[in-house]
Structure 1
């Protein structure tokens, strides 16, 4: 089971997750993957030390083993599960590119977070 926590108030995040939900409909129906709005459960990941603002800034997920995934690692886990997108996980999650993937994801997430705050999407 993979539970992905995201910010539905961010139009970019919401659209991206909506796209993944459509691609993963069978996995969602079977309960293998779940997408949850952090705004409805703001302290859901407090036990992991993740605040509401942390989750609004970057995707967070918990896997079947209870391990916390953050940022690009969540995207890679979702790509692995998405039909036709495993190649993205293999490419961007390989040991050589993973540090760059994380860096680029984090910079994009920072920009998106700042844009959402300026627009008052909290």
Structure 2
């Protein structure tokens, strides 16, 4: 009897906010490092309808990085970064480090994301 084939996985999808200058610069750098990786990049500023399609509040999409991994799980914040780094040549070592320190990385990311989000709103970036 032949073993069943594993289910086909979809490419990972990164949901980011290009209206945030800091986020946009970070994503541009990450895209460069991930050149050749199978990944889709979706800008929630240019495609606000993604919020309804994903069932995620648009403000959350503006505030935090989101990644749908190849298995279909939606990750945000530090877990989204860990998923990206796990697939990035030269940065793979960061993924287990961030995952093992989620107790610190999670709250720290949320704090920094909230402050950056507020700064962007005051500056009128969206």
Q: TM-score, normalised by structure 2?
A: 0.86
TM-aligned CA deviation for residue 46 of structure 1: 2.6
Contact 2:69 2:75 in 1 (8 A): yes
4+ long deviations beyond 3 Å? none
What is the match of residue 124 of structure 2?
120
Give 5+ residue unaligned stretches, structure 2. Answer: 1-10
1:56 is paired with a residue whose SS is helix
Q: TM-score, normalised by structure 1?
A: 0.89
Q: How does 1:1-122 map to 2 (within 5 A)?
A: 1-27=11-37, 32-94=38-100, 97-122=101-126
2:45 is paired with a residue whose SS is coil
For residues 43-70 of structure 1, the C-alpha deviation after alignment (integer angstroms, 9 at most, x for no partner) is 2243443121111100112122222111
Give 5+ residue unaligned stretches, structure 1. Answer: none
Contact 2:13 2:41 in 1 (8 A): yes
Q: Which has the larger radius of gyration?
A: 2
2:93 is paired with a residue whose SS is helix
CA distance in 2, matches of 1:9, 1:41: 11
For residues 60-116 of structure 1, the C-alpha deviation after alignment (integer angstroms, 9 at most, x for no partner) is 12122222111111100111111111111111112xx11211111110000000000
Contact 1:43 1:51 in 2 (8 A): no
